[in-house]
Amino acid sequence: MATKLVIVESPAKARTLDRVLGRTYSVKASLGHVRDLPKASLGVDIDKGFTPKYVIPAEKKRIVGEIKKAASKASSIYLATDPDREGEAISWHLVQAAKLNEDKIPIRRVVFHEITEGAVREAFQSPRSIDMNLVNAQQARRILDRLVGYKLSPLLWRKVQRGLSAGRVQSVAVRMIVDREREIQNFVPQEYWIIEVELAPPEEKEASFKARLFALADGTKLDISNKDEADKVIADLEKAEYTVKAVVTKQVARQPAPPFTTSTLQQEAWQKLHFTAGRTMTIAQQLYEGLPLGKEGSVGLITYMRTDSTRVAASAISEAREFIKEKYGAKFLPPKPRSFARKAKWAQEAHEAIRPTRIHRQPEQLKPFLDPAQLKLYELIWKRMVASQMSAALYDTTSVEIEARSAEKQLRWHQGYLLKASSSVVKFLGFMAVYGENRAEDEGEDSSGFIGVSLPKLRIGDKLIYLGIFPERCFTQPPPRYTEATLIKALEQKGIGRPSTYAPILSTIQERDYVNKVEGKFHPTELGVTVNDILTEHFPKIVDLGFTARMEEQLDEIAQGKYEWVAALQEFYPPFQDMLNKAWMNLEKISVIQTSEEKCPNCGRPMAIKVGRFGKFLACSGYPACKTTMPYAVKTGVSCPHCGGELVKRISKRKKVFYGCSQFPKCQFAVNRKPVAQPCPSCGNLLVQYRGDWAKCVACQRTVKISAPEKQKEEVTL
């Protein structure tokens, strides 16, 4: 009996679907894309309407053959790739590469946003055909990126150095980092003073509090910009009499944040867990595709993790509200379900936010089945979803305005001064019983208000006694450098990239050595600044934030069937080619020498980092007088267990990362995982990073929790 063939991207997803669908279905994994543009050539016929020339990579030919063979025995074919443009394109490429439409077997496309039995069976009951609008949007993005990358890279090789490359979206991210660095360098600090006065009711000196000076008595804002001004004000305040002018007490409600989108998950995972965007997405993919939960088998734990929507299915909201009422009580449940509107005009509301597939599957129940990193990310997603349907947190806030005057009119400003003090006390935890947030940091709220202090009971007209004064000289600060969280947030706000692109953008700009991450913050390299300046001068549209955002909107319109993909390419390419021709003619050769800490063993000059056909290598900066070269490596600070040399990061001919002894070929010790400085507590041998915050001994195989300093250790480049 012929079975129904289901094709997905990954083996993990295949295992989960196999459990859900049963024996009448055969599930195969394509391992991602099975066709792409060729690596060795442009692969786009510009003169024939930007026709792409797709090829099947050598490593995918066996998979395509297996899928074609399985399809010939099937009664029907279901394409169950991911529910986005990339997934739609993979399905279309599968049909074309394996020629699935030649055998006249019914081909159906099924889409689900969570891999649960209910969602999967519902999708299989409502199949559709491949959406060519989504496919064309993905094709347009792929061809745009290919045109920019393959046309700009040779220019950079010739004019700067070999091995460089440029990307349509990544170059914009680099520009943002470079622009921020220049803002910091050009920033001129401005002096200002904060003055606080310690006050207390006459009969309750132990109930003292500090109030901050903010204005003259008539409400005019007071800016103190130097010590002379500060000293005069301090002298006035030391002589003043203090009276309570106003007391405002009110209750403030703080609402929970919506469930995660891709962007907000990456931001929060960086802030709370210190996970990079790439690591967050890798773990989220595992949670989505399914993990074995004992007797339950392989189960999808979260909904699809590439989304810009905050919408949640009514059934999931109902389940969350039932859970909240049952576990926390009715007072933690708002009268009506919460819904969250997405402000971004390109948000795809057909998708859902990232949430657990079952709210009743609590994090503590999954400890036996998930590794520590998976559990942490699942707990973050679970708590955010539960909190989003809980009651608001309530605060009792008190704000006191105090007037400082002198009865003898000895103050320099006779109208006196105004000071403020405030306090905020949690009256009801609400959603914060589950999920604590730092809203000032996460959402950019103004956190510079008056310090929250414990205030005594005060009434208008009450006199206060002066206990002391606390002046502080301050300077304005430059804008902060981008972290992973703040860069992703800025990209999303400016409309640059989409959910599937944030993590690749961040990893690519680091791999190309255009930026470095130092203590979690992005710094542009000299090379990054040079390439950015070339692109800004000669290709202003390519690195223009507004232009790139409009291109993203155009791709969204293609996905909605509102714009032709070839027309978008025809609009983009002629101006781009014109800029390219002018750059070839006008751009002078630029020399960028990146020196390392290594010294040439022959002449003692610094070794420079160069890029060749097979990647980076070290060459003497005295070339051509000295032609010494050495392999490029990255120090780990960990000793080789065989000879005592240092283990260094290397890249094999197949572009695989490994860690080998710096004394090679004398010592040939090597491991595939990053070595850890701390030794195995059982046998003293080498530990290598294993999963999340855990390391494994290469000798006794014991797993060990990595200490905090080890996790934060930076690699040192040779």
- Can you give the pLDDT at residue 440? 36
559 and 522 belong to one structural domain: yes
From the centroid of its chain, how far is CA 306? 12
- Can you give the pLDDT at residue 103? 80
65 and 94 belong to one structural domain: yes
Give the Cα separation of 264 and 499 in Å (integer).
10
Burial of residue 153 (CB within 10 Å: 0-12, 13-18, 19+) is: middle
Element containing residue 146 per DSSP (H, E):
helix 132-159
108 and 174 belong to one structural domain: no
285 and 383 belong to one structural domain: yes
Query: Residue 691's closest CA among 212, 282, 184?
Result: 282
301 and 330 belong to one structural domain: yes
Report whether 138 contacts 145 (CB < 8 A).
no
Report whether 535 contacts 171 (CB < 8 A).
yes
Cis peptide bond N-terminal to 52, omega within 30: no
pLDDT band at 10 (very low <50, low <70, confident <90, very high): very high
Residue 148 is part of a domain; what is its CATH number? 1.10.460.10
What pLDDT, in 10s, does the model give residues 221-255? 999 999 999 999 999 999 899 999 999 999 999 99
Burial of residue 90 (CB within 10 Å: 0-12, 13-18, 19+) is: buried
27 and 56 belong to one structural domain: yes
251 and 397 belong to one structural domain: yes
Catalytic status, residue 78: no
Query: Residue 265's closest CA among 383, 162, 100, 359?
Result: 383
What pLDDT, in 10s, does the model give residues 259-301? 999 999 999 999 999 999 999 999 999 999 999 998 888 899 9
Which amino acid does the sequence have at 459? R
Mean pLDDT, rounded, for 164-171: 90
632 is in which domain, residue-wise? 594-717
Residue 267 is part of a domain; what is its CATH number? 1.10.290.10
Q: Report how far apart the first and last C-alpha atoms of the chain are (Å, whole number).
A: 62
Residue 43 is part of a domain; what is its CATH number? 3.40.50.140
Query: Residue 266's closest CA among 297, 221, 308?
Result: 308
Domain end (from 526, 553, 586) = 586
313 and 359 belong to one structural domain: yes
300 and 401 belong to one structural domain: no
Total domain count, the chain? 5
709 and 609 belong to one structural domain: yes
What pLDDT, in 10s, does the model give residues 430-464? 999 999 865 433 333 333 333 456 799 999 999 99
pTM of this prediction?
0.83
Res. 684: pLDDT tops 70: yes
716 half-sphere exposure, CB direction, 13 A CA radius: 10
Res. 522: pLDDT tops 70: yes
As a whole number, the mean pLDDT across the chain is: 89
- Can you give the pLDDT at residue 149? 93
Which amino acid does the sequence have at 239? K
What pLDDT, in 10s, does the model give residues 469-505? 999 999 999 999 999 999 999 999 999 988 889 999 9
Domain end (from 441, 475, 509) = 475
Task: Show the DSSP H helices in 98-131 as ranges.
Answer: 117-125
Residue in this structure with the two tokens 């944040």, named with its chain if needed: 257
Mean pLDDT, rounded, for 179-187: 97
121 and 155 belong to one structural domain: no
Q: Which of 25, 304, 378, 632 is catalytic?
A: 304
Residue 459 is part of a domain; what is its CATH number? 2.70.20.10
Domain end (from 130, 149, 168) = 130
271 and 379 belong to one structural domain: yes
Which amino acid does the sequence have at 507? S
**Positive or negative CA dihedral for 187, 191, 192, 197?**
positive
Report whether 338 contacts 388 (CB < 8 A).
yes
